[in-house]
Amino acid sequence: MRKLFIAAVAALTLSASAAQAAGGAYVPELKDVNWSFEGFFGQYDQKQLRRGFQIYNEVCSACHSLRLVAYRNLSALGFTEDEIKEIAAEKSIRLPHGDAGALLNDDGEFFTREAKPSDKFVSPFPNDAAAIDANGALPPDLSLVAKSRLGGPEYLYSFLMGYMDEVPEEVAHQKGFILNEDKSFNIYFPGYYTSMPPQMMDELVEYEDGTEATAVQHAEDIVAFLNWAAEPELDERKSLGLKVMLFLLVLTAMLYALKRKIWADVKH
């Protein structure tokens, strides 16, 4: 028990010193993007979400899972039921056994079925160990990444655009900084080196809607999509919020008038 306590305190102090280190380490300010979903009235741009989905589907999904989002959720991006069926059917889901109970089919492979709209996005790897084995590190699930990083979408955008070929002097001169040739240098990543190589380059995908395929455009689109994946309720939340606020404003004004009237003759 004492050991556990010491471990916990050590974790605390370690985390504190890490914080101090991070506080001392050079991290530039996050890049600011004018998202369509910012502010009181901000809503998602459906076309942008579709472009972002295209990037996820063609690029990110090779390594990153999106396990909390279901194919049926894509209706929010304007896909029709048939389109969603098609998108889902491109992926296959491994079954625990075949109809007859056999674990493997005649070719010695796992039984599979096509994914359906009701399925969650199929993960690229069967488990974390396989994902680490293939990538050198665990590519995080992206379902909540826009909420689980300080700075949210701004951080994600900065991260995606934060890769550098040369280590800037502010970082190179830091005490304890070690060059790492095996990983990629990213100025926004805690510890600077990430196992994920840079992805955002011009013409990463050819947009279905004909938008010019620049790196900046890609980064904005994929981050908008990931924000939607993390907060699919945002549009509804803000529009309901406006109605509720309007209602409360009127109600409170009437309550105030009533209060004035009731208290009119009371000296207080």
Partner 1 sequence: MSSPEWNNPVVKWVDDRLPVFSLMHHSTAGYPTPRNLSYWWNFGSLALTVLIVMVVTGIFLVMSYTPHVDMAFDSVERIMRDVNYGWLIRYIHMNGASMFFIVVYIHIFRGLYYGSYKGPREILWILGVVILLLMMGTAFMGYVLPWGQMSLWGATVITNLFSAFPIVGDFIVTLLWGGFSVDNPTLNRFFSLHYLLPFVLFAVVGLHLWALHAVKSNNPLGVEMKQPEDSIPFHPYFTIKDLFGMGLFFMFFLFFVFWAPNFFGEPDNYIPANPMVTPPHIVPEWYFLPFYAILRAITFDIFIIPAKLGGVLAMFASIILLMVLPWLDRSKVKSCKFRPVYKWFFWILFLDCIFLGYLGKKPAEGSYIIMAQLATLYYFAHFLVILPLMSKIEKVVDLPESISAAVLKKSEDA
When asked if residue 129 is in the footprint of partner 1 (CB under 8 A), the reply is: no
Question: How many angstroms separate the CA atoms of 47 and 208, rounded?
Answer: 10
The bridge status of strand 112-114 relative to strand 184-185 is: unpaired
Is 196 annotated for ligand binding? yes
In whole angstroms, the minimum distance from the beta carbon of 43 to partner 1 comes to 13
Burial label, 21 (beta-carbon count in 10 A; 0-12, 13-18, 19+)? middle
Nearest to 78 by CA among 203, 248, 235: 235
Binding status of residue 100 toward partner 1 by CB under 8 A: no
DSSP track, 196-252 = SPP---TTSS--TT-----HHHHHHHHHHHHHHHH-TTHHHHHHHHHHHHHHHHHHH
Closest distance of CB 4 from partner 1, Å: 7
148 contacts partner 1 (rule: CB under 8 A):
yes
Residue nearer to partner 1 on the CB measure, 23 or 101: 23
Give the one residue of 152, 185, 207, 223 binding partner 1; rule: CB under 8 A: 152
Distance (Å, whole) CA 133 – CA 25: 30
245 binds partner 1 (CB under 8 A): yes
Query: With respect to partner 1, which residue has the nearer C-beta, 7 or 103?
Result: 7
Q: Which of positions 53-72 make contact with partner 1 (CB under 8 A)?
A: 68
- Reduced to 3 states (helix: H, G, I; strand: E, B; else coil), residue 101 is coil
Residue 11 binds partner 1, judged by CB under 8 A: yes
60 known member of a binding site: yes
**Sole binder of partner 1 in the list 127, 165, 212, 268 (CB under 8 A):** 268
Question: Which of residues 28, 78, 168, 241 is near partner 1 by CB under 8 A?
Answer: 241
Task: Output the smallest distance, CB 190 to partner 1, in A.
Answer: 7
Q: Residue from 33, 55, 115, 230 that binds partner 1 (CB under 8 A)?
A: 230
DSSP H helical ranges for 65-151: 81-89, 128-135
CB atoms within 10 A of CB 185: 20
194 binds partner 1 (CB under 8 A): no
Report if residue 75 touches partner 1, rule: CB under 8 A.
no
- Do 171 and 28 contact (CB within 8 A), yes or no? no
The yes or no reply on residue 244 touching partner 1 (CB under 8 A) is yes
Q: 174 or 214, CB closer to partner 1? A: 174
Nearest alpha carbon to residue 192 among 216, 217, 166, 212:
166
Q: Who's near 151: CB < 8 A, 6+ residues apart?
A: 30, 158
If one asks whether residue 1 binds partner 1 (CB under 8 A), the answer comes out as yes
Which residues form the interface with partner 1 (CB under 8 A)?
1-2, 4-5, 8-9, 11-20, 22-23, 40, 68, 73, 143-144, 147-150, 152, 190, 230, 232-233, 237-238, 240-242, 244-245, 248-249, 251-252, 255-256, 258-259, 262-263, 266-268
